[in-house]
Amino acid sequence: MPRVFGTDGVRGLANRQVTAELALDLSVAAARVIVDRGEFEPTRERPLAVVGRDPRISGQILEHAVVAGLASAGVDVLRLRVLPTPGVAYLTQALGADLGVVISASHNPMPDNGIKFLAAGGLKLDDAVEAQIEEILGSDWERPIGAAVGRVRPYERPVEEYVEHLVGTLSRPLTGLKVVVDCAHGAASVAAPMALLDAGAEVVVIGAEPDGLNINEGCGSTHLGPLQAAVVAHGADAGFALDGDADRCLAVDRDGNDVDGDQILAILAIGMAESGRLVKDTVVTTVMSNIGFVRAMREAGLGLRQTKVGDRYVLEAMRVGGFTLGGEQSGHVIMSEHATTGDGILTALHVLERMAATGRSLAELASVVTRFPQVLVNVPDVDKSRTDDDPVLAAAVAEEVAALGDTGRVLLRPSGTEDLVRVMVEASTAELATDVAERLAGVVRERLAR
């Protein structure tokens, strides 16, 4: 059967691709894998799962299906209701649950939804476990009966406990800072303002009126315009835009200029290095990081580990190397001292803490990274499997790389989910980057044509 899991769980059009039937079958299969492996907490009679979701309307359908599947397979379930993905991950760990389930499509538009499973400890499932779930999906099984079926109950204070954890990671209050937060009408519409207020900041809230239909709609980290306008209008020191499930954020300085994930990582890396909390003085990021970020880390005397695109690869490298900071240009930042996944609210709190500690503005802190113009061209309907094998394409790339020298770079990357090749070019000017990207895109079209 075709793969069900993608790079970040199961995701697609809700009630068409991601259906209640699929949600139920996936949950049964996940529960069976947990029971068969016998790795759940031995002091409990049955395995324990926690289930949370973002506020999109289809989440109600999928949540009931997931809970029914887990309980029917003999798993006790705590319903966390609407909670950010990192909040579900935190409570999976804090409550000693054997499984966490997040129902969310993150930054995707409202009609989409998704299902993501977390292992004990709040970590993403290994590929091998996902493969096991897929292997038994929809197969016959012996159902528990009577007292052996799972119990379902709501968990009383999920948002409050998650916020207490977030604020507890700070070493100083955020008193004196005025911040705007755009919650994308998503899962953090309650948690993000609460955390910032509890941390001592003055808070202006936008995008925090979810109705099940407006998640990510013209707001949040995929649409910075409303945040930029609000920061300037309110005279705020900074603004932060979350996505629908709040596992990432982007920032805006007091003049309305955007601050991307590379700049956020640089701010946190330098602060953590100064306090001795940056393990091996190294940051983990992906190959998509801007060359300006790479140079900034070098000038700060910090090391860099680069991975394939995707937060799961960043997390894997962090776990293997024991590193404490990693992330992506998209604003997905992982601070492993405090979280097992990217956390947009946590990121915002610690950027603000750095501002409070140094007395410097967000623009000043972000200025350590001089961003090189970056152009991305997608070339569809080509044989992406030959991206690394065609000698003419390789020669064209080598020629452009030589011409750019140390003032730019080129990256050709086959898409993991679509039949296209992404051509990314960074150069000293946007015009030069565009010219190089278009030339190479033309070679890709010609040489990799089907």
The catalytic site residues sit at: 106
Give the type of residue at 436. Answer: V
Provide CB contacts within 8 A for 169, sequence distance 6+. 337, 338, 346, 349, 350
CA distances in angstroms from 2 to 15, 30, 418, listed in the order given? 19, 17, 15
Measured distance between the N- and C-terminal CA atoms of the chain, rounded to whole angstroms: 25
Does residue 2 sit in helix, strand or coil?
coil
Query: SS in 3 state form for 203-259?
Result: EEEECCCCCCCCCCCCCHHHCCHHHHHHHHHHCCCEEEEECCCCCCEEEEECCCCEE
Provide CB contacts within 8 A for 90, sequence distance 6+. 122, 162, 165, 339, 340
Specify the residue for token string 């700060």.
Answer: 300
Q: Which helix (H) or strand (E) holds 353?
A: helix 344-358
Does residue 179 sit in helix, strand or coil?
strand
Specify the residue for token string 């090749």.
Answer: 421
Biggest CA-to-CA distance, the chain:
72
Provide the token pair at 31. 């529960």
